[in-house]
Amino acid sequence: MERKVIMEKLMEISNQDRITCAEARKLAEDLKIEKSEVGKACDEAGIKISACELGCF
């Protein structure tokens, strides 16, 4: 999966530079990528993951 696609999706769902853990997990599932890839993309984009439920991020 191209990083550009991941970043675009992150920007669509982020709210004031934040997404929830549930949103991050769903994005990984929808894009069929590892959760760690979403985490790395969030780090690159300066997006914080809030309300982490499982310690994945």
Residue 55 placed within a domain: no
| The predicted structure's pLDDT at residue 15 | 82
| The predicted structure's pLDDT at residue 32 | 96
| The predicted structure's pLDDT at residue 16 | 82
Centre a 10 Å sphere on the Cβ of residue 28 and count the other Cβ atoms it contains: 19
Name 49's bridge partners: 19
| The predicted structure's pLDDT at residue 56 | 63
Residue 15 placed within a domain: yes
- The string of pLDDT tens digits covering residues 1-57 is 688 899 999 999 998 899 999 999 999 999 999 999 999 999 999 999 988 776 666
Residue 56 placed within a domain: no
Residue 43 placed within a domain: yes
| The predicted structure's pLDDT at residue 3 | 85
Residue 17 placed within a domain: yes
Instruction: Give the chain's domain count.
Output: 1
Residue 23 placed within a domain: yes
Domain containing residue 14 = 3-50
Instruction: 33-42: list long-range contacts, CB under 8 Å, 24+ apart.
Output: 33/1, 33/6, 37/1, 37/6, 38/6, 38/10, 41/3, 41/6, 41/7, 41/10, 42/10
Residue 57 placed within a domain: no
